[in-house]
């Protein structure tokens, strides 16, 4: 990861920012926020989670992620983002709700690991490492058929995606601080 020593540091900093974002949200926006959480997992639990996901053919960088972290829920950050915890990801894959193949505009093997508030999914490529934002396509079995406008590349890799998420949350917290300073004449 570029700006954090490790995933635990990222998780702790994100949890701190999520708490501050939630605390100032209603004063700035006029309505209560959703629950914003960033979960770490104990070392033993992370090892078990990563092993279970490896049996599901989940991309290697996600195995590292899930060996340290669990769910991330940021419903009020933009349209929202929800990174599944390991057991939810396993359940989604087993239920056939998440594709593991992209066809059409992109031909790739992927691991879906997160969703947004608009029905889109975030998927990590097994071949390029890119994180795709899948916004429109047809799910048939384990394949998701995309046209040219049904996806974008959200990040070059999982670590860049996590850094971007941190930057977005930090900017939202700073924007709230600025509004609150202005309201209190500071």
Cα 120 to Cα 11: distance, rounded to the nearest angstrom: 23
Is residue 29 classed as helix, strand or coil in its secondary structure?
A: helix
Cα 48 to Cα 139: distance, rounded to the nearest angstrom: 29
**Measured CA distances, 43 to 54, 86, 164 (Å):** 16, 14, 25
> What confidence score (pLDDT) does residue 186 get?
59
Architecture per CATH, 7-158: 3-Layer(aba) Sandwich (3.40)
CB-based contact 165:14 (threshold 8 Å): yes
How many CB atoms are closer than 10 A to CB 41? 21
Report residue 152's pLDDT band, with 50, 70 and 90 as the boundaries. very high
**pLDDT tens column, 45-95:** 666 677 777 777 888 899 889 888 989 999 999 889 999 988 888 888 888
**pLDDT tens column, 2-27:** 444 588 899 999 999 999 999 988 88
Report residue 111's pLDDT band, with 50, 70 and 90 as the boundaries. very high
**Measured CA distances, 157 to 1, 123, 131 (Å):** 10, 10, 6
Report residue 157's pLDDT band, with 50, 70 and 90 as the boundaries. very high
Q: What is the pTM of this model?
A: 0.89
C-alpha 154, offset from chain centre = 11
């Amino acid at each position: 990861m570029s700006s954090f020593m490790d995933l635990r540091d990222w998780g702790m900093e994100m949890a701190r920012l999520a708490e501050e974002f939630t605390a100032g949200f209603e004063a700035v926006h006029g309505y209560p926020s959703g629950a914003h959480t960033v979960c770490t997992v104990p070392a033993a639990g992370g090892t078990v989670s990563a092993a279970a996901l490896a049996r599901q053919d989940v991309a290697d960088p996600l195995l590292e992620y899930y060996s340290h972290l669990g769910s991330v829920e940021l419903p009020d950050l933009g349209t929202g983002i929800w990174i599944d915890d390991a057991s939810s990801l396993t359940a989604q894959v087993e239920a056939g709700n998440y594709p593991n193949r992209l066809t059409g505009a992109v031909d790739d093997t992927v691991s879906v690991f997160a969703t947004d508030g608009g029905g889109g999914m975030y998927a990590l490529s097994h071949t390029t490492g890119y994180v795709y934002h899948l916004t429109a396509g047809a799910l048939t079995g384990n394949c998701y058929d995309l046209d040219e406008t049904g996806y974008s590349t959200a990040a070059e890799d999982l670590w860049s995606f996590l850094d971007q998420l941190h930057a977005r949350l930090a900017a939202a917290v700073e924007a709230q601080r600025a509004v609150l300073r202005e309201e209190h004449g500071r």
